[in-house]
Amino acid sequence: MIEAGTQTPAIHDDTPPAAGEPPYPSRLYAWYVVGVLVLAYTFSFIDRQILSLLVVPIRRDLEISDTEMSLLIGFAFALFYTICGLPIGRAVDVKHRIRIISIGIAFWSVMTALCGVAKTYWQLFLFRMGVGVGEAALSPAAYSILSDYFPPNQRGAALGVYGMGVYIGAGLALVIGGVVVKAVSGVEHTVLPIVGEVYAWQVVFFVVGLPGLLVALWALTLKEPVRRGHTRKTVDANGREVLESVPVKDVVDYMRANSLTLFSHHVGYALCAMMAYGVSAWIPTFLIRTHGWEAGDAGIYYGIIVVIFGTAGVVTGGWMADKLTEMGYRDGKLRVLLYGALACIPFTAVYPFLDNAWVAMALIAPSTFFATFCTGAGPAGVQEIMPNQMRGQASAFMIFVVTIIGLGLGPTAIAVVTDAVFADDNMLYASLGIVATAILVIAVVVIWVGLDAYKASRDYLDEWVAVHEKP
C-alpha cells in the first residue's frame, strides 16, 4: 500500500524521472538512507562473520572438527537465510519495505546475542539459523528501496556503497572479536549479569549482537520511497492506491526467458562469493596454524585489510559498473564481475604458499580488493534487467543462489579438503590456495558465457515493459 507522507518532496535536479512518475527524492536524503542501510548491513556482517575468529576456542570447548565448525559458519546460517529470503522477497515487492528491514534487524540481533548462552553445538547451530532468518529481510528490501531512491545511472554507485557494509562488518567483526579475544585470553569461563557463567568467547556475541536493536529503531525512521518503473496498481475501497502482486507464474516465466543471463550472473557471482566467504572464514586460522600468530592479532590485522581493501573494492566495482554502462557497454555490470575474478586469481594462488606472513598479508590485500568487485556490480545488474515489481523476488532468488553456493559451500569446501584430502590441520594453507584458485577459474568461464545473453536481457526488459506497462 502507498501511504501518505512517505515521499520526500525535493528532487535530483540533474536526473528527471520517467514520464508520469513523481520526482526523485533529494540527493542528500537518498544518500542518508544509504548511510543507515550501510550501518545495518555492517551489523549484519559483524553478526554473520564473527565465528571465523572463534574457530579455535569453539572447537576446543564444544569438541568439534573443522567440518562441523564450517557448518556453523556457513550452512547453519545459509539454510534459513535462503529459505526465508524467497517469501520475504515477494513481500518486499508489495509491502512496506522499511518495516520489513527493521523487524529483520531486531530479530537477527536477538539471535546473535542468544549465541552467547548456547551450551551445546546444536544450540549454537539453532541460534545461527535464527540469525539467518533475520538477515534474510535486509538485502532484498534494501536493493529495491535504493533502486527507487536513485536513477538508473547512479544505482551502481549507490548499491556499491551499500555493499561496503559487507566488508566494514566482516572486518570489524574480526577487529572487535580480536580485541575481546585478547581481553579474555587465558580465561575459560566468565560470569555475566543475569546470564550467569558462559564460555569466555561467548562474550563476543553479546558485544556485537545487542547494539543492533538500536539500529533497528533507527531504520524504522526512514521514509518508504515511491516505487518506480513498471508497477501494477489498483484503487481500494477507501480510494487509496494499492500495489498489485505480480503472479508468481509471471515472475517464473520472465526469469525462464532470461535463464542464461540469470545462470551466468547468479552462479558467477556465487562462485566469486564462494571464494571470498571461504577464505575469509579460514584466513585467521591460517595465520594461527601456518604462521603462529595469536588469534587476537590475526583478527585485528586481517580485519583492517578487509575493512580497507574490501570497502575500496566494492565501491570501485560499483563505480566501474556505472562507468562501463555510460561508455556504452550494455553488459557493463556483468563485465565487472569478470574483470574482478580475473584480477584476483594470481594473488589468491600465491599468498597461501609464502613463508613470510607479512608478504602473504600484502598479497591478501589486492586479493580482497578484486574479489569484492562483485558485491557492488552484482546486485546492480539484477535491478537493471528486472521490472520493478519483480526486483524483490529476483533479488531474493539471487541471494538464495549466492548464499547457498557462496556461504553454504565456501567455508566447507576448504574444510573438507583439509580434513578429507590432507587429513592434517596444518595443511590448511594448501586447501586455501588450491580451492580458492579453482573456484575463481570456474567463475571466469561461467561469467564470460553470459555476456551476450545479458545484453539481450536488457533489450527483453524494454520490450516487456512496453507491452505490460499500465498507466
pLDDT score recorded for residue 376: 76
From first to last of its 471 residues, what are the pLDDT tens digits of the chain? Answer: 222 333 333 334 445 555 456 777 888 999 999 999 999 998 988 887 778 777 778 888 888 888 888 888 777 887 888 888 878 888 888 788 999 999 999 999 999 999 988 888 999 999 999 998 899 899 889 988 988 888 877 877 787 788 788 778 878 877 877 776 677 666 666 766 777 777 778 888 888 889 999 999 999 999 998 877 655 555 555 555 555 667 888 888 999 999 999 999 999 999 999 999 899 889 988 999 999 998 788 888 998 998 899 889 988 988 898 889 888 898 999 999 999 999 999 999 999 999 999 999 999 999 999 998 988 788 888 888 988 778 778 888 888 898 888 877 888 899 899 999 999 989 999 999 999 999 999 999 999 999 999 999 999 988 887 777 654
Cell 569478470 sits on residue: 338
pLDDT score recorded for residue 5: 30
C-alpha–C-alpha distance, residues 368 and 279, integer Å: 10
Cell 547451530 sits on residue: 125
Half-sphere exposure (CA, 13 Å, Cβ side) for 3? 11
- The vertex-173 CA angle with 168 and 179, nearest 5°, equals 120
Residues 6+ apart with CB under 8 A from 94: 243, 244, 245, 389
Strands (E), 212-254: 233-235, 241-243
C-alpha–C-alpha distance, residues 368 and 44, integer Å: 19
Give SS3 for 273.
helix
pLDDT score recorded for residue 3: 29
pLDDT score recorded for residue 16: 52
Half-sphere exposure (CA, 13 Å, Cβ side) for 110? 10
Cβ atoms 412, 75 nearer than 8 A:
yes
Q: Domain span at residue 60?
A: 27-222+248-458
C-alpha–C-alpha distance, residues 445 and 138, integer Å: 30
Residue 395 in any domain: the answer is yes
C-alpha–C-alpha distance, residues 299 and 179, integer Å: 8
Q: What does DSSP assign to residue 226?
A: P
Q: CATH number, domain at 54?
A: 1.20.1250.20
Strands (E), 161-220: 189-192, 196-199
Q: Do you know the residue count of the chain?
A: 471
Residue 5 in any domain: the answer is no
pLDDT score recorded for residue 354: 96
Number of domains, the chain: 1
Residue 232 in any domain: the answer is no
Q: Are strands 196-199 and 233-235 parallel, antiparallel or unpaired?
A: unpaired
Residue 156 in any domain: the answer is yes
pLDDT score recorded for residue 232: 55
Residue 18 in any domain: the answer is no
Residue 438 in any domain: the answer is yes
C-alpha–C-alpha distance, residues 321 and 323, integer Å: 6
Q: Are strands 241-243 and 189-192 parallel, antiparallel or unpaired?
A: unpaired
Residue 233 in any domain: the answer is no
Please choose, from the candidates 370, 431, 26, 390, the residue with its C-alpha nearest in 3D space to the C-alpha of residue 227: 390
Residue 282 in any domain: the answer is yes
pTM of the full predicted structure? 0.72
DSSP letter string over 371-438?
HTHHHHHHHHHHHHHS-GGGHHHHHHHHHHHHIIIIIHHHHHHHHHIIIIII--GGGHHHHHHHHHHH
- The vertex-404 CA angle with 398 and 407, nearest 5°, equals 105
Compute and round to an integer the Cα radius of gyration of the chain. 22
The Cα-based distances of 293 to 299, 308, 462 in angstroms read 10, 21, 55
